[in-house]
């Protein structure tokens, strides 16, 4: 499990409960107290864990992407960056610095959420913490899940999705989640997990962790994103799908999402420089309407159609959706498409309301 | 730069054959050899012939008797090619330290010449043996006409050890510094192979980038060596064709693009074939959506007069009922 080399604490959060928990869980890690701003040299070191106050909003809409269907997911910004080294990670070019940052002003975060839920009492919220970091990769240090899961259990219509590639789930036991937290794993073929998701547990380990969460009564979700096209991909992705359905009961799966590998053009030299062994950027890509590089439509269509058929063979009723895809892809691969983002959101909201039998 | 050097030394004649041009640590000019004689050099020769050597060159004589040119390398070459056996020189004492002599040479060089990219790279490399990186960035990059930042430093220093072929072309501005920076990232044997390949045909700079990217990415994607790509029979056939060089360059780009983007180019080819079956009249062009994915099909219609417009409009009207056309659009 990840251990930082140094912990940097901004003085304005030194008395927060989260800081106390982190210090307690990292007894042998050197600590420095220092004001942090965007030019701080501490932010340039990947092995630093920087604990600071989030001065902006915690709650944000998913950045989404124009011209493709988006599920209108909401993000809870608990921190930035990730100690895993996935070659394809968009954070490499999205964020300005590599240090791991945790926002410790949780009181302000919950106040913001309370205000929001009061303001929109009828609305269903799907909120995830895994957009700018991995939801659980620091949970052994922060124990944030022990705070977030009970908070969402008390909400009427808000659902928390903890999205991870790790097996750090020990804090999830004995929590009264009330079915309001969905534990989600990012899955891939075993080869991609090994060669491109550096530092992340294997697919088997992830699925075993998912199975434990299933036994704890949690709703589960799985994200095949990014799906990477390479010679022999079919056999290896099918194997992951087989492993998934051999380990997890379909009734516990809230949804499975899929998204083919895409990247910002400026990520290409970064990947080339940081991961010269990686070959994932050399397939046939085109510049999509959102400016990101994506596989040709015929490749994406082939991938999705096959993946869906393998999933359907194991569970014909499983809810599958695409992350950032065109209505044409939806129609050609699933036979239907949401009319707009709002409709896709409503489909996923309905999935949240379903009770595990 | 501080060079408190007293040049009150009396000029003296030194024997030119005592100067070993192969080892000259203070000559900054790059490239430096007779083979690079240019118009300026010829002018210098003619001037010396007419007026004599007006200013003595500056050299340093080492304890071991080696003679290093500090300033006046071109005058030295000119005199050498004129067959002179001695040259008037001011000789710096051998006690003068390496750093001081180099900075003196640099100061004189920069006072009359803007360094080319190779000179910049080699100067910085040499300065690194005297000073830390930060000092070079702060004090020397602006003198060399470079931005005063780490990025500029790390970019230019990469070029210092380029192979002679590429380095000389870079100095002569025959290749773009950006291209040299791309080449420098390749392993040495591949760098030379690709560079020589690019020099064979009259590619523009942007075409050079395009071809380099195709070759590199095919090599990485398919796990094959660059040499194998460059000696592919189809490439050799293109190169040996009895064709205009520009035509060969175009054929080569088309071939490499096909190899890099096989599915997209197949789709483009299929579309072009299907479009042919529609027998579109002149001045009526059909374009597919970008990458066959984004947006709309597009017709471009040009006409000289109403009669031509009417003719094209009638054609389009008939096309709306054409089964082949419908199939093309659906696919």
In a domain, A331, yes or no: yes
Chain B residue with minimal CA distance to A293?
B291
Query: Which residues in chain A have Cβ-Cβ distances shorter than 8 Å to B267?
Result: 296, 298
* pLDDT(A195) > 60: yes
Residue A240's domain comprises: 53-70+108-121+139-353
In a domain, A202, yes or no: yes
* End-to-end Cα spacing for chain B: 70
The average pLDDT across B131-137 equals 96
What CATH number does residue A186 fall under? 3.80.30.30
In a domain, A243, yes or no: yes
* Chains A & B: contacts with CB separation below 8 Å: 31
- Buried-state track B7-16, b at ≥16 Cβ within 10 A, e below 16: eeeeeeebeb
Distance from CA of A279 to the nearest CA of B (A): 6
| Interface contact A284-B261, CB threshold 8 A | yes
* pLDDT(B52) > 90: no
Distance, in Å, from the CA atom of A43 to the CA atom of A52, rounded to the nearest integer, reads: 11
Interface test with B, best of A277, A278, A284 (most B CBs within 10 A): A284
Query: Which residues in chain A have Cβ-Cβ distances shorter than 8 Å to B220?
Result: 279, 282
Reported confidence tier of residue B41, pLDDT bands at 50, 70, 90: confident
Instruction: Kindly report the CATH number that applies to the domain delimited by B1-113.
Output: 3.90.1530.10
| Interface contact A284-B263, CB threshold 8 A | yes
Question: Within its chain, how far is the Cα of B179 from the centroid?
Answer: 6
* pLDDT(B31) > 90: no
In a domain, A91, yes or no: no
pLDDT digits (tens, 9 = 90+) for A96-153: 788 899 999 999 999 999 999 999 988 999 999 988 899 999 999 999 999 999 999 9
Least confident range from A78-92, B8-22, B74-88, B268-282: namely B8-22
| Interface contact A282-B220, CB threshold 8 A | yes
pLDDT digits (tens, 9 = 90+) for B114-133: 999 999 999 999 999 999 99
Least confident range from A87-96, A298-307, B293-302: namely A87-96
Query: Which residues in chain A have Cβ-Cβ distances shorter than 8 Å to B292?
Result: 296-297
Alpha helical stretches, state H, A84-202: 91-94, 106-119, 139-142, 145-153, 190-196
Distance from CA of B261 to the nearest CA of A (A): 6
Interface test with B, best of A228, A271, A279, A325 (most B CBs within 10 A): A279
pLDDT digits (tens, 9 = 90+) for B176-235: 999 999 999 888 889 999 999 999 999 999 999 999 999 999 999 999 999 999 999 999
Reported confidence tier of residue B2, pLDDT bands at 50, 70, 90: very low
Chain A residue with minimal CA distance to B257?
A284
* pLDDT(A87) > 80: yes
Question: Within its chain, how far is the Cα of A179 from the centroid?
Answer: 19
* pLDDT(B6) > 80: no
Query: Which residues in chain A have Cβ-Cβ distances shorter than 8 Å to B294?
Result: 288-289
For residue A224, which of A84, A320, A351, A334 has the smallest C-alpha distance? A320
Distance, in Å, from the CA atom of B282 to the CA atom of A333, rounded to the nearest integer, reads: 39
| Interface contact B264-A299, CB threshold 8 A | no
Distance, in Å, from the CA atom of A190 to the CA atom of A196, rounded to the nearest integer, reads: 10
With a pLDDT cut of 90, the percent of chain B lying above it is: 72
Nearest CB partner across the interface for A289, out of B221, B264, B294? B294
How would you classify the pairing of strands A6-9 and A31-33?
parallel
Task: Domain count for chain A, please give it.
Answer: 1
* pLDDT(B3) > 50: no
pLDDT of residue A309: 97
Q: Is the CB of residue A187 less than 8 Å from the CB of residue A204?
A: no
* pLDDT(B331) > 70: no
Residue B96 neighbours by CB under 8 Å, 6+ apart: B5, B60
Chain A residue with minimal CA distance to B215?
A282
How much is the ipTM here?
A: 0.84
The average pLDDT across A5-10 equals 93
Residues from A contacting B (CB-CB < 8 Å) are 279, 282-284, 286-289, 296-299, 326, 328
Helix (H, G, I), strand (E, B) or coil at B71: strand
| Interface contact A296-B263, CB threshold 8 A | yes
In a domain, A158, yes or no: yes
Helix (H, G, I), strand (E, B) or coil at A221: strand
pLDDT of residue B313: 94
Residues from B contacting A (CB-CB < 8 Å) are 217, 220-221, 261-264, 267, 290-294
Query: Which residues in chain B have Cβ-Cβ distances shorter than 8 Å to A286?
Result: 264, 290-291, 293
In a domain, A183, yes or no: yes
| Interface contact A284-B264, CB threshold 8 A | yes
Query: Which residues in chain B have Cβ-Cβ distances shorter than 8 Å to A296?
Result: 263-264, 267, 291-293
pLDDT digits (tens, 9 = 90+) for B94-112: 889 999 999 999 999 999 8
């Amino acid at each position: 499990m990840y251990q930082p080399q140094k912990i940097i604490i901004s003085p304005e959060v030194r008395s927060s409960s989260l800081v106390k928990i982190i210090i307690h869980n990292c007894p042998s890690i050197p600590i420095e107290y220092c004001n942090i701003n965007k030019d701080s040299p501490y932010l340039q070191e990947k092995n630093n864990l920087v604990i600071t106050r989030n001065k902006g909003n915690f709650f944000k809409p998913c950045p989404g992407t124009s011209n493709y269907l988006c599920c209108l997911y909401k993000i809870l910004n608990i921190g930035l960056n990730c100690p895993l080294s996935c070659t394809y990670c968009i954070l490499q070019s999205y964020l300005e610095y590599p240090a791991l940052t945790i926002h410790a002003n949780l009181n302000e975060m919950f106040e913001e959420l309370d205000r929001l839920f009061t303001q929109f009492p009828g609305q269903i919220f799907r909120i995830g913490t895994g957009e700018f970091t991995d939801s659980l990769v620091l949970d052994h240090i922060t124990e944030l899940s022990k705070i977030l899961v009970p908070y969402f259990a008390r909400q009427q219509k808000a659902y928390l999705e903890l999205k991870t590639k790790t097996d750090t789930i020990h804090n999830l036991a004995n929590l009264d989640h009330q079915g309001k937290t969905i534990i989600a794993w990012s899955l891939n073929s075993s080869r991609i997990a090994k060669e491109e998701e550096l530092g992340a547990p294997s697919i088997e380990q992830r699925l075993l962790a998912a199975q434990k969460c299933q036994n704890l009564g949690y709703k589960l979700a799985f994200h095949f994103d990014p799906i990477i096209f390479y010679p022999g991909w079919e056999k290896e992705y099918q194997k992951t799908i087989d492993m998934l359905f051999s380990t997890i009961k379909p009734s516990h799966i809230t949804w499975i999402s899929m998204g083919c590998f895409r990247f910002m053009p400026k990520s290409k030299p970064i990947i080339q420089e940081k991961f010269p062994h990686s070959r994932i950027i050399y397939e046939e890509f085109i510049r999509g309407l959102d400016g990101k590089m994506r596989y040709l439509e015929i490749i994406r269509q082939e991938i999705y159609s096959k993946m869906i058929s393998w999933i359907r063979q194991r569970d014909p009723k499983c809810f599958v959706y695409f992350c950032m895809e065109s209505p044409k892809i939806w129609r050609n691969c699933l036979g239907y498409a949401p009319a707009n983002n709002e409709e896709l959101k409503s489909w996923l909201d309905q999935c949240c309301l379903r009770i595990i039998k | 730069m501080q060079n408190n050097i007293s040049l009150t030394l009396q000029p003296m004649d030194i024997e030119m054959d005592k100067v070993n041009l192969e080892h000259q640590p203070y000559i900054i000019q790059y490239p430096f050899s007779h083979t690079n004689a240019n118009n300026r050099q010829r002018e210098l020769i003619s001037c010396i012939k007419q007026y004599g050597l007006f200013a003595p060159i500056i050299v340093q004589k080492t304890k071991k008797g080696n003679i290093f040119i500090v300033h006046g390398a071109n005058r030295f070459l000119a005199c050498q090619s004129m067959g002179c056996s001695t040259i008037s020189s001011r000789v710096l004492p051998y006690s003068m330290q390496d750093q001081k002599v180099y900075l003196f040479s640099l100061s004189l060089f920069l006072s009359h010449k803007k360094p080319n990219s190779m000179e910049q790279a080699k100067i910085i490399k040499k300065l690194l043996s005297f000073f830390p990186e930060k000092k070079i960035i702060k004090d020397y990059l602006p003198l060399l006409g470079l931005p005063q930042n780490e990025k500029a430093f790390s970019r230019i220093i990469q070029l210092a050890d380029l192979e002679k072929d590429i380095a000389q072309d870079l100095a002569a501005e025959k290749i773009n510094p950006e291209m040299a920076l791309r080449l420098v990232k390749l392993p040495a044997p591949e760098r030379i192979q690709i560079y020589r390949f690019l020099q064979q045909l009259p590619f523009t700079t942007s075409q050079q980038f395009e071809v380099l990217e195709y070759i590199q990415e095919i090599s990485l994607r398919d796990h094959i060596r660059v040499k194998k790509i460059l000696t592919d029979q189809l490439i050799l056939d293109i190169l040996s064709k009895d064709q205009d060089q520009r035509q060969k360059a175009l054929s080569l780009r088309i071939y490499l693009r096909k190899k890099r983007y096989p599915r997209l180019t197949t789709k483009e080819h299929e579309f072009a074939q299907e479009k042919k079956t529609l027998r579109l009249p002149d001045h009526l062009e059909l374009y597919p959506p970008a990458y066959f994915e984004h947006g709309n099909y597009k017709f471009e219609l040009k006409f000289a007069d109403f009669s031509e417009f009417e003719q094209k409009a009638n054609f389009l009207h008939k096309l709306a009922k054409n089964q082949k056309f419908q199939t093309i659009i659906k696919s």
